[in-house]
Chain A
Amino acid sequence: GIQVEQSPPDLILQEGANSTLRCNFSDSVNNLQWFHQNPWGQLINLFYIPSGTKQNGRLSATTVATERYSLLYISSSQTTDSGVYFCAVTNLRRDNYGQNFVFGPGTRLSVLP
Chain B
Amino acid sequence: SAVISQKPSRDICQRGTSLTIQCQVDSQVTMMFWYRQQPGQSLTLIATANQGSEATYESGFVIDKFPISRPNLTFSTLTVSNMSPEDSSIYLCSGQLGTSVRFYNEQFFGPGTRLTVL
Contact = CB atoms under 8 A, between A and B. Distances in A.
Contacts of B22: none
Interface of B is mostly: strand
A32 B114 CA distance: 26
A62 interface: no
B109 A31 contact: no
B108 A86 contact: no
Contacts, number: 45
A103 B48 contact: no
Interface residues of B, number: 21
B43 A86 contact: yes
Interface string A82-113: 00001010100000001101111110000000
Contact of A33 (B41, B44, B92, B106): B106
Given A86-B43, A98-B56, A30 B104 contact: yes
Contacts of B48: 98
Interface in A17-61: 30-31, 33, 35, 40-43, 45, 48
Interface of B: 1, 33, 37, 41-45, 48, 56, 90, 92, 104-109, 111-112, 114
Interface of A: 30-31, 33, 35, 40-43, 45, 48, 86, 88, 90, 98-99, 101-106
19 contacts: A30-B104, A31-B104, A31-B105, A31-B106, A33-B107, A40-B111, A41-B111, A41-B114, A43-B112, A45-B106, A45-B108, A45-B109, A48-B106, A88-B43, A90-B104, A98-B48, A99-B104, A101-B33, A106-B42
